[in-house]
Amino acid sequence: MSKPVSLALFVIGVILLVLGMTAADSFASQVSEFFSGSPTDKAIWLLIGGVFCTVVGGLGLLRGARGEG
């Protein structure tokens, strides 16, 4: 994976994590958590996507830093 693609994935992952944490703290998510015990599906998927993109992008950046071999 090229370095610009890895960097883009990493940045997108961080943005998704921030959006997911914001969504988890929203009023709708708090109401959902009160009744069901878990935040809204949107918040969960944003957090999962953020973690995935951040990990894949970070591994791509580390791999690129060590060399392509």
Name residues of the chain where pLDDT drops below 50. Answer: none
Q: Give the pLDDT of residue 5.
A: 94
pLDDT for 20:
92
All structural domains of the chain with their residue ranges: 3-66
Q: What is the pLDDT of residue 60?
A: 93
Q: Is 60 exposed, middle or buried (0-12, 13-18, 19+ CB in 10 A)?
A: buried
pTM score, whole prediction: 0.82
Residues in contact with 18: Cβ distance below 8 Å, sequence separation at least 6, in sequence order: 50
pLDDT at 68: 61
pLDDT digits (tens, 9 = 90+) for 10-25: 999 999 999 999 988 8
Query: Nearest-5° angle of CA 19, CA 40, CA 50?
Result: 35
